[in-house]
């Protein structure tokens, strides 16, 4: 037997788990002989090994889970998973404990008196029938009366089939687009960037680029805390590679800055000026790749002077309504617009030395260096988030470094299935599955074909619904009467909670909006719920996540949910069954048309077991990316009757049959069948190698133009030319003032996941970071008479909170800058965070609120 590192790590992982379960010897042998895709199965002592995926960040780490007597006893990294190769971070190793908090929700809860909202009390236990009937009655009544006042808020932490099913219910069953998700607050700017530029959502590269690049540039990304395993991967390459460099562009020095060769601390919002100066430098010094631009790129300009979305009516202002408009431009026009962005100008705006910006520009332009740009919330949660996404792509386009091994811009995703569930499934108010848009007639016809709906049925939802901030703003004003959320904790994660939690007299809508929450633990959000549905979490059911590299992985059911907690899909189907009772689609029963293939409405149960139910849902969902599976869809995809602008190229996102993922653990789409085997695509649009080696050979041959410059063919863009859009620097929505002199930025820490509702229940993680802290510059603190550990009052135009201040250097803040994570619901830091959003993506800028700080 060949001993490889993978074998060793896997053997060790299984061995550890078996040891924990009291069967070290047997486990070790099973682990030593286990090969990729072969589950160890049950051992003699009843311990069983399952394939899983971490349920925290967007890295999508595969894990090996051992369960015994209905409980998870061990979690280890899965060396067979291509995304993490056996590594975990501390959250991943303690995953098993998140299931066993003492206060798991095990029975449905009902609130009879809405005046008790916002308190610890007021919820009573109920039967499932009572809770389901109540919710269904409220939803159906409001739906019949005025469906513009219902809303569904989903999550990038739902498995794919759950997101798919709930979207189908809301959009096709209720004909409502008032469905959005927390990925709006996380990845929407990246999404709009992808769609505007490439006509397809998700990056062209993959995590393997982390092993291949010569230079890494992090733009507003604290990977060491927010994507720790990916940070370890690229740091391993940096430490072991010859001359590998890292430039870190950030507003606050972080752990990610610690090992960087150059840290460029810039003034908030000035990243666009820096990026444009890099472009200008490359242009002025003739360092661009002329042939790449000639063969592959189209130039555009967009609406400018957008203002900011402070007011509820912003979207309908001239600037707001035209925010996403673009017009063609010439190269000369583009050059002229970049010309003012000299190194000196960018330095003046950003505070970054001109020499550092020049050094980075040279790094991008060096034809002998492969370069990878990595970004996350610093770029996306930005009042010009889509613009900044464009700016990064512009740099890569100029030098022709994209979609090649070790070369390319790479947007890091925040949540475990923000890509798979929110984006690929279409949990947005303007989207349908697989990147399709409600506003596009061809897309609606295609969706109708797969969902077996009459032609024209989805025309009722051709107008986008309410995006996230709009939904909560309307709710706060009493204009939303029914809100259902699942797998998120919006009462902690949303911005401007002072308004949304009804803490201002003019915004009391939360108290009159009938609120339903699918949850696993009591949270701040359940304190505002009228009904709480207890549901299964993580590996208490089978599911699928799609991570940041177009990578789909499955997780098996390893144990039962506690008490009376249900699988979310059963909750949604039981509500659908009640709300759609007697409704027709065409001449057919509405519920049976939509869900009859999986659910027996008379038996109130699934027709098959959980795996088969998931498989059936997956096979329907993957028809969107496999049009050959449905003749009607196939004809629409090909634009066979010439009715539409052209072919849709839906195979660009091709997914494999469900069981393939159980054989191979994980696959990066588009997944292509080659000689009977399904193989992933690592570098999309690139046919410079074989499909088996991860290149997009089949995609380019079938939908693109082989033989183009650089072996690239961007076949999802209508004219096969991605858009290079000039975007100017426009200042942040707020600037520090005498009244609010500090910049305040919020984000994540390594030890806690988002709002802390899970990780604060894991004793080791809570012990590591038990309290939310605001990080300050030591000189600033001293001037205010604040010592490390003092309680302070932090106020913004939106509200105020009390929190403990620290000058520790985990976040090394320059004078005038502060940072706090948002996991601590006792602090509720988002009470002070602005709720204005990017005009195109509608994603909130969580990074640039201005605050004042006083000793409490």
Residues belonging to the active site: 91, 186-187, 377, 414-415
- Residue 443 near residue 435 (C-beta atoms within 8 A): no
Query: Binding of other proteins at residue 3 (CB under 8 A)?
Result: yes
Q: Looking at residues 675 to 704 of the shown chain, list those that interact with other proteins (rule: CB under 8 A).
A: none
Query: Binding of other proteins at residue 8 (CB under 8 A)?
Result: yes
- Return the range that interacts with other proteins (CB under 8 A); candidates 69-77, 338-346, 419-427, 829-837: 69-77
Query: Binding of other proteins at residue 57 (CB under 8 A)?
Result: no
Q: What are phi and psi of 585, to 5 degrees?
A: -120, 110
Closest CB to other proteins among 90 and 503?
90
Least distance between other proteins and beta carbon 43 (Å): 14
- Return the range that interacts with other proteins (CB under 8 A); candidates 144-152, 291-299, 584-592, 804-812: 804-812
Applying CB under 8 A, among 417, 757, 806, 818 the residue interacting with other proteins is: 806
Least distance between other proteins and beta carbon 524 (Å): 22
Closest CB to other proteins among 146 and 788?
788
Query: Binding of other proteins at residue 31 (CB under 8 A)?
Result: yes
Query: Binding of other proteins at residue 93 (CB under 8 A)?
Result: yes
- Spatial separation of the C-alpha atoms in residues 493 and 479, rounded to whole Å: 21
Query: Binding of other proteins at residue 233 (CB under 8 A)?
Result: yes
- Spatial separation of the C-alpha atoms in residues 285 and 776, rounded to whole Å: 41
Least distance between other proteins and beta carbon 124 (Å): 36
Closest CB to other proteins among 25 and 586?
25
Closest CB to other proteins among 740 and 753?
753
- Spatial separation of the C-alpha atoms in residues 572 and 546, rounded to whole Å: 21
DSSP 316-373: GSHHHHTTT-EEE--HHHHHHHHTT--HHHHHHHH---HHHHHHHHHHHH-TT--EEE
- Spatial separation of the C-alpha atoms in residues 86 and 387, rounded to whole Å: 36
- Spatial separation of the C-alpha atoms in residues 802 and 815, rounded to whole Å: 21
Q: Hunting for tokens 């605050």 — which residue is that? A: 851
- x/- string (CB under 8 A) for other proteins, residues 765-784? --xxxxx-x-----------
Beta pairing partners, 839: none
Tokens of 328: 């063609």
- Return the range that interacts with other proteins (CB under 8 A); candidates 82-90, 309-317, 498-506, 674-682: 82-90
Helix-helix angle 5-20:24-33, to 10 degrees: 150
Distances (CA, A) of 593 to 171, 576, 602, 611: 14, 12, 15, 21
Residue count at the site for other proteins (CB under 8 A)? 62
Query: Binding of other proteins at residue 20 (CB under 8 A)?
Result: yes
- x/- string (CB under 8 A) for other proteins, residues 208-227? ----------------x---
- x/- string (CB under 8 A) for other proteins, residues 533-572? ----------------------------------------
Applying CB under 8 A, among 186, 221, 273, 750 the residue interacting with other proteins is: 750
Query: Binding of other proteins at residue 231 (CB under 8 A)?
Result: yes
- Residue 534 near residue 565 (C-beta atoms within 8 A): yes
Query: Binding of other proteins at residue 808 (CB under 8 A)?
Result: yes
- Residue 451 near residue 121 (C-beta atoms within 8 A): no
Applying CB under 8 A, among 115, 120, 121, 239 the residue interacting with other proteins is: 239
Applying CB under 8 A, among 666, 751, 835, 845 the residue interacting with other proteins is: 751
Query: Binding of other proteins at residue 143 (CB under 8 A)?
Result: no
- x/- string (CB under 8 A) for other proteins, residues 809-828? xx------------------
- Spatial separation of the C-alpha atoms in residues 522 and 520, rounded to whole Å: 7
- Spatial separation of the C-alpha atoms in residues 553 and 547, rounded to whole Å: 8
- Residue 649 near residue 715 (C-beta atoms within 8 A): yes
Applying CB under 8 A, among 55, 85, 470, 716 the residue interacting with other proteins is: 85
Query: Binding of other proteins at residue 229 (CB under 8 A)?
Result: yes
Non-local (6+) Cβ contacts of 220 within 8 A are 249, 250, 251, 271, 375, 376, 377, 378, 379, 382, 847
- Residue 47 near residue 17 (C-beta atoms within 8 A): yes
Closest CB to other proteins among 309 and 750?
750
Closest CB to other proteins among 42 and 808?
808
Tokens of 586: 């065409």
Least distance between other proteins and beta carbon 1 (Å): 8
- Spatial separation of the C-alpha atoms in residues 638 and 323, rounded to whole Å: 31
DSSP 426-482: T-STTB-STT-BTT-HHHHHHHHHHTT--TTGGGGG-S----HHHHHHHHHTT---E
Query: Binding of other proteins at residue 89 (CB under 8 A)?
Result: yes
Least distance between other proteins and beta carbon 278 (Å): 22
Query: Binding of other proteins at residue 87 (CB under 8 A)?
Result: yes
Least distance between other proteins and beta carbon 208 (Å): 14
Q: Cα(first)–Cα(last) distance of the chain, in Å?
A: 65
Distances (CA, A) of 483 to 149, 262, 487, 578, 700: 9, 47, 14, 17, 44
> Contact residues for other proteins (CB under 8 A)?
3, 5, 7-9, 11-17, 19-20, 24-25, 28-29, 31-32, 74-76, 85, 87-90, 93-94, 224, 228-229, 231-233, 235-244, 255, 258-259, 750-751, 764, 767-771, 773, 806, 808-810
């Amino acid at each position: 037997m060949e001993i490889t590192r993978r074998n060793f790590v896997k053997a060790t992982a299984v061995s550890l788990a078996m040891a924990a379960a009291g069967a070290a010897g047997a486990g070790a042998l099973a682990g030593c002989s286990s090969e990729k895709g072969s589950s160890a199965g049950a051992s003699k002592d009843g311990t069983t090994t399952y394939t899983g995926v971490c349920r925290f960040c967007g890295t999508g780490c595969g894990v090996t889970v051992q369960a015994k007597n209905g409980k998870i006893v061990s979690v280890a990294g899965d060396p067979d998973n291509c995304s993490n190769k056996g590594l975990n971070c501390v959250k991943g190793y303690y995953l098993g404990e998140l299931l066993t908090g003492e206060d798991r929700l095990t029975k449905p809860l009902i609130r009879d008196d809405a005046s008790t909202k916002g308190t610890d009390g007021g919820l009573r236990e109920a039967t499932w029938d009572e809770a389901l009937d109540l919710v269904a009655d409220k939803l159906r009544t409001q739906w019949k009366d005025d469906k513009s006042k219902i809303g569904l808020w989903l999550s990038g932490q739902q498995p794919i089939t759950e997101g798919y099913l709930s979207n189908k219910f809301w959009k096709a069953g209720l004909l409502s687009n008032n469905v959005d998700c927390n990925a709006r607050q996380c990845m929407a700017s990246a999404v709009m960037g992808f769609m505007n530029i490439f006509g397809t959502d998700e990056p062209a590269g993959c995590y393997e680029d982390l092993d291949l690049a010569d230079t890494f540039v992090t733009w507003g990304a604290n990977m060491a805390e927010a994507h720790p395993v990916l940070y370890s991967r690229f740091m391993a390459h940096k430490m072991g590679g010859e001359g590998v460099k890292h430039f870190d562009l950030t507003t606050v020095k972080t752990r990610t800055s610690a090992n960087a060769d150059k840290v460029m601390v810039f003034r908030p919002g000035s990243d666009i000026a820096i990026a444009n100066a890099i472009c200008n430098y490359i242009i002025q010094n003739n360092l661009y790749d002329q042939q790449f631009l000639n063969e592959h790129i189209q130039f555009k300009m967009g609406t400018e002077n957008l203002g900011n979305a402070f007011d509820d009516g912003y979207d309908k202002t001239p600037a707001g309504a035209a925010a996403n408009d673009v017009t063609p431009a010439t190269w000369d026009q583009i050059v002229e617009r970049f010309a003012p962005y000299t190194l000196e100008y960018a330095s003046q705006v950003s505070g970054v030395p001109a020499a550092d910006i020049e050094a980075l520009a040279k790094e991008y332009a060096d034809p002998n260096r492969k370069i990878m740009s990595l970004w996350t919330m610093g770029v996306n949660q930005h009042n010009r988030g889509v613009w900044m996404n464009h700016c990064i792509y512009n740099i890569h386009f100029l030098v022709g470094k994209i979609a090649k091994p070790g070369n390319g811009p790479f947007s890091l995703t925040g949540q475990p299935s923000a890509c798979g569930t929110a984006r690929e499934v279409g949990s947005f108010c303007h989207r349908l599955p697989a990147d399709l848009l409600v506003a596009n007639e061809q897309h609606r016809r295609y969706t109708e074909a797969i969902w077996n709906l009459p032609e024209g049925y989805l025309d009722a939802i051709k107008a986008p619904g309410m995006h996230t901030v709009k939904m909560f703003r309307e709710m706060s004003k009493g204009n939303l009467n029914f809100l259902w959320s699942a797998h998120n904790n919006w009462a902690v994660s949303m911005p401007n909670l002072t308004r949304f939690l009804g803490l201002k007299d003019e915004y009391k809508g939360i108290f009159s909006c009938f609120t339903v929450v699918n949850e696993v633990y009591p949270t701040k959000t359940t304190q505002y719920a009228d009904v709480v549905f207890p549901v299964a979490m993580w590996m208490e059911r089978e599911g699928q996540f799609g991570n940041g590299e177009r990578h789909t992985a499955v997780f098996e059911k390893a144990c039962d949910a506690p008490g009376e907690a249900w699988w979310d899909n059963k909750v949604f189907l039981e509500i659908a069954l009640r709300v759609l009772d007697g409704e027709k689609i065409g001449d057919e029963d509405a519920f049976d048309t939509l869900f009859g293939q999986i659910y027996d409405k008379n038996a109130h149960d699934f027709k098959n077991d959980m795996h088969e139910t998931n498989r059936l849902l997956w096979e329907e969902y993957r028809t969107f990316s496999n049009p050959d599976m449905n003749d009607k869809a196939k004809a629409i995809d090909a634009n066979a009757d010439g009715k539409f602008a052209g072919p849709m190229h839906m195979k660009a996102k091709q997914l494999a049959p469900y069981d393939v993922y159980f054989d191979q653990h994980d696959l990066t789409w588009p997944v292509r069948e080659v000689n009977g085997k399904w193989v992933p695509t690592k570098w999309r649009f690139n046919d410079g190698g074989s499909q088996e080696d991860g290149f997009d050979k089949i995609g380019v041959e079938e939908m693109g133009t082989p033989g183009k410059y650089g072996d690239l063919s961007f076949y999802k863009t209508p004219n096969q030319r991605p858009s290079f859009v000039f975007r100017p620097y426009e200042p942040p929505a707020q600037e520090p003032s005498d009244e609010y002199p500090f910049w305040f930025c919020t984000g994540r820490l390594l030890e806690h996941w988002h709002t802390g509702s899970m990780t604060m229940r894991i004793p080791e993680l809570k012990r590591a970071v038990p309290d939310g802290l605001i990080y300050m510059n030591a000189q600033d603190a001293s001037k205010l008479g604040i010592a490390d550990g003092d309680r302070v009052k932090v106020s913004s135009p939106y509200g105020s909170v009390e929190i403990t201040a620290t000058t520790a250097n985990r976040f090394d803040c320059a004078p005038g800058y502060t940072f706090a994570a948002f996991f601590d619901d006792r602090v509720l830091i988002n009470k002070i965070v602005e709720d204005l959003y990017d005009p195109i993506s509608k994603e909130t800028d969580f990074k640039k609120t201005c605050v004042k700080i006083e000793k409490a």
